[in-house]
Amino acid sequence: MGEREESGSGGAWPVDDWDEPAGPIDEWHAAPDPAEEEESHRGAFGDYGGESGGLIERTFREKIILVGVTLDGGDVEDTDAMLDELALLVDTAGADAVGRVTQSRLSPDPATFVGKGKVQEIKALAETVDCDTVVFDDELTPAQQFNLEKILGRTALDRTAVILDIFAQNASTLEGKSQVELAQLRYRLPRLRGSGRKLSQQGGGIGTRGPGETQLEVDRRRLVRRVHKLEADLRRVQAHRETQSKQRSRTRNRAVALVGYTNAGKSSLLNRLTDAEVLVEDRLFATLDATTRRLALPGGETVFATDTVGFVRKLPHQLVTAFKTTLDVVRDADLLVHVVDGSGPDPIGSMAAVRDVLGEIGAGDVPELLVFNKSDRGSGADDLADRFEGSVAVSAHNGHNIELLLATIGDRLRSMTELAELLIPWDRGDVLASVHREGQVLSESPEEFGMRLKARLEPASMGALRDYLINHESGSDTPVEEIAPS
């Protein structure tokens, strides 16, 4: 048996007849026990889905029961709101919520999360409505998931699995698909279940008799190898993004990132601002891939505006980690345009959820501009804009206040620049043009040796024009004689 070095794996891996999977990842997970298969109710989520590569079988609309638990110190109303959102997520994934069960307890039950009595109640309801799957709003441990499925006789999933499934449906680019697959594999690895000794590989000679490598171990090793491969691919993507970021920084153009809760209208707003033609749909996580376009501001400056993946409460950690290369654009932005659905049921909670994720990815300190979208759907956006100083209420649908938003973005970005006074010789028209192109010229006055200007400039531009500086915020002076024509 030969060996080869797997890119990014950190070591050599054995190669044999199962070196590469014959089909999608879902086709080579651990085989279920036939006895367990007979006892289990058919569910579309099943053992992580079918040929689609997601966690849901989309050949029919599943019936789902939702389960929410209010733990010690929690609010029952918050639990109900989270279940409402979970119902939207389930609908986006291609299933129907036909019932819900809630519970209040001090702490999760280690075995079943909700306790034996509540599990029996859920089982009775599941049999009554003939549901296919039970989805819990909180993340389940592999042991809890196994125990619940054994008692309920049907698939038990958590919020993380539903979100991963939605991402698997909507990923379109190669990078997006790799990121989603990586998140799925990290979720599945601890949940692999085999059938024990009967799947063992038996030896055929002296010293080889007895249990060999189980199919479970084979599957686990395949998954680990695939994880290493995807991690190596995404590291290359990240290196490419860093190169692009350096190239953009040399243009001295600022970067603006549109962030916000899923379905807040970020893609619609980018389309309104730049004619980007990004996919827009009234559903959760319609777009996953970052889109960057040039945006011209009223002051003449050009910035890069990027639409990013939407956030949600209890965003799975696997997704935050897998989408690191995409979310780096948020961390490196000069300004975050935080888009909030002003007509939503809980805009304040959505803002808090987004800020939690921003802190997790290291973007908590990036300057933020609040934009309350969907002002065409009532007074909610305008009321919130009045409440939060410096924010703007807009409608990406009909263009209301878009010009005000552009002016506000320009003002915020210009506030990050330095005020300088320059004297440009008459024979350096190229330098004069670059000042107009890269900064905001506040005043001009012709003099004997050249044009005197007051302008707001980026720090990089300030350094390139240091030979023409007369005065700036640091108070240093450059004698006019040094730049006067000879």
pLDDT of residue 309: 81
Q: Give the residue-averaged pLDDT of 416-443.
A: 85
Label residue 9 by pLDDT band (50, 70, 90).
very low
Residues 6 or more apart from 38 whose CB is under 8 A from it? Answer: none
b/e map 433-471, b = 16+ CB within 10 Å: ebbeebbbbeeeeeeeebbbbbbbbbeebbeebeebbbe
Give me the residue spans of the domains in the chain: 25-195+209-246, 251-414, 418-482
Query: Could you tell me the pTM of the whole model?
Result: 0.70
For residue 251, report the phi and psi dihedrals to the nearest 5 degrees.
-80, -10
Query: pLDDT band at residue 17, thresholds of 50, 70 and 90?
Result: very low
CA distances from 312 to 224, 325, 329 (A): 28, 18, 18
Give percent of the chain with pLDDT exceeding 90.
32
Among 5-14, 453-462, 469-478, the least confident range: 5-14
Assign 82 to helix, strand or coil.
helix
Which residues 6+ apart lie within 8 Å of 348 measured at CB?
Answer: none
Q: Do domains 25-195+209-246 and 251-414 have the same CATH topology?
A: yes
Given the candidates 3.40.50.300, 3.90.1300.10, 3.40.50.2020, 3.40.50.11060, the CATH classification of the domain at 25-195+209-246 is 3.40.50.11060
Percent of the chain residues past pLDDT 70, beyond the cut: 75
What integer pLDDT is reported at residue 44 of this predicted model?
38
Mean pLDDT estimate for the chain: 78
Partnered with residue 471 across adjacent β-strands are 421
pLDDT in tens, 161-207: 998 888 888 777 787 788 888 888 888 888 877 544 444 444 444 54
d(CA 434, CA 239): 30
For the cut 90, the answer to whether the pLDDT of residue 73 exceeds it is no
Q: Pick one of 1.20.1440, 3.30.70, 2.40.160, 3.40.47 as the CATH number of 418-482.
A: 3.30.70
Contact of 46 with 59, CB cutoff 8 Å:
no
Query: CATH assignment of 251-414?
Result: 3.40.50.300
User: Which of residues 146 and 249 earns the better pLDDT score?
Assistant: 146
